[in-house]
Structure 1
């Protein structure tokens, strides 16, 4: 029997799915992780060299002088080539999620595999899951315990060509936009790059506060919509608010730990 291939989105999902094999040995197989964050940055022509160059330049700008730059510049191009080499006899299990990063990663994966006849199964994830502190909407497997993940195997279903085509078309539409920020509202929506500015300002006061606190609290505020921990984008927007004269600052406008901001007096 051919062992399955598991495709996950994000490092936490990769680790926890691997740990779930101990609870459900029938799941055991190779794991391939897709980690590129497609919720931010240009996507137009990302399948061509010019588009990838433009995306890299923009991400390099917002991540300049920060330790998050390698994360921002991570690319899944080499990983797609590995997936394309999988034979049709090997079952591929895709651990889909309801968060922005997983959703976009899945749609692009469908586009990259559009010309291949592969044996794909996708997770029809539950609407809610039970956590130690209560029942909450399902976001992605990276937030579940390995034992919970092991029980999701019964929710995988074969992905037909008609449904694949729908996902491919969704990606084509998304990647033809010039937006820089995408958020999850049941479906992926394009929003202005200043969409989160007001939420950042709401966390500012007349006294200087560390930017790390402001970014962290804003991430918590938007978790249900954005559902991706990209503090780098919020750090960039906070610095842009300073440059636009909407906030005062002290320190150096590099990492979020390097400066504090307050409302303009």
Structure 2
């Protein structure tokens, strides 16, 4: 059994669940790219893959994750090639895709189907869509991330595994192709498996709400956005957007425009005074 997850934290909690139930025994594989942001055009061609890699290199340049796009640590194509190889060599092997109700997991699921369509009947989905679980404190909650589910609760979740249907193998890749052709930069989950797309500046207006007239570290601004905003994405993406606003002259800055801890930001003095008049 091969388990696919889309977040590093999910890997840890699923491995703990496997320790509790030998019927789940298998290898846990993480798809590392965040397909909820960035270009998707020709995503399955060499040219499209390189364009996406170049985009990530640009986004991460000069920040906390500088160089990660080119260091080989997030090579999903290599990862999925190894998985496909295992499935071809062992006809008895099966694949379980674990996804919670969030744009990151759902986008990863759509991306993945292209590579495993030849194994219809051996590919299972566990989509935790609006399903209640019991927290460590005994409260009922509806998880949007797999890693928030206690390991023992995964033993209940495994009962939800079902084969990806022939219809899904036909319809979902078409939906992903449609999204890819739109050439947008941000994907948001509306419900179920329905993704809608927006331009790269989708989060900008909300991020600006956390920039005040007082100096704040970039990391603090981004942390507030991530903890309080309805729609969020990775901190690397938000650092990139914040830097673009600063280089456009929208805000005052002190420090070096590099990592989140290296510089502080505040509203321009003139703009703040004008707003208060």
Cα distance between partner residues in 1 of 2:103 and 2:244: 24
Deviations 1:189-237 (A, max 9, x none): 2112111111111111111111101001111233x534x4x10111011
1:24 aligns with 2:21: yes
Return 5+ residue gaps in structure 1 as ranges.
none
The runs of at least 4 aligned residues of structure 1 exceeding 4 Å deviation read 70-73
Of 123, 126, 136, which residue of structure 2 is paired with 1:120? 123
- Contact kept in structure 1, 2:219 and 2:260, CA below 8 Å: yes
- Contact kept in structure 1, 2:120 and 2:164, CA below 8 Å: no
1:235 aligns with 2:232: no
The alignment's C-alpha RMSD in Å is 1.9
2:167 corresponds in structure 1 to: 162
Return 5+ residue gaps in structure 2 as ranges.
270-277
2:66 corresponds in structure 1 to: 69
Q: How does 1:7-156 map to 2 (within 5 A)?
A: 7-72=4-69, 74-85=74-85, 86=87, 87-127=90-130, 128-132=132-136, 134-156=139-161
Cα distance between partner residues in 2 of 1:39 and 1:231: 13
Of 180, 187, 193, which residue of structure 2 is paired with 1:182? 187
- Contact kept in structure 2, 1:185 and 1:225, CA below 8 Å: no
Cα distance between partner residues in 1 of 2:32 and 2:153: 22
1:208 corresponds in structure 2 to: 215
Cα distance between partner residues in 2 of 1:136 and 1:220: 18
TM-score (norm 2): 0.87
TM-score (norm 1): 0.90
2:228 corresponds in structure 1 to: 221
What's the secondary structure of 1:213's corresponding residue? Answer: helix
Deviations 1:139-174 (A, max 9, x none): 132222211122211111122211222221122112
- Contact kept in structure 2, 1:241 and 1:247, CA below 8 Å: yes
1:118, distance to aligned residue in structure 2 (A)? 5.0
Relative contact order: is structure 1 or structure 2 higher (C-alpha 8 Å, sep ≥ 6)? 1
1:126, distance to aligned residue in structure 2 (A)? 4.8
What's the secondary structure of 2:128's corresponding residue? Answer: coil
What's the secondary structure of 2:173's corresponding residue? Answer: helix
Cα distance between partner residues in 2 of 1:211 and 1:49: 35
Aligned residue pairs: how many? Answer: 259
Of 192, 202, 213, which residue of structure 1 is paired with 2:199? 192
1:67, distance to aligned residue in structure 2 (A)? 3.2
Deviating more after overlay: 193-202 vs 85-94: 85-94
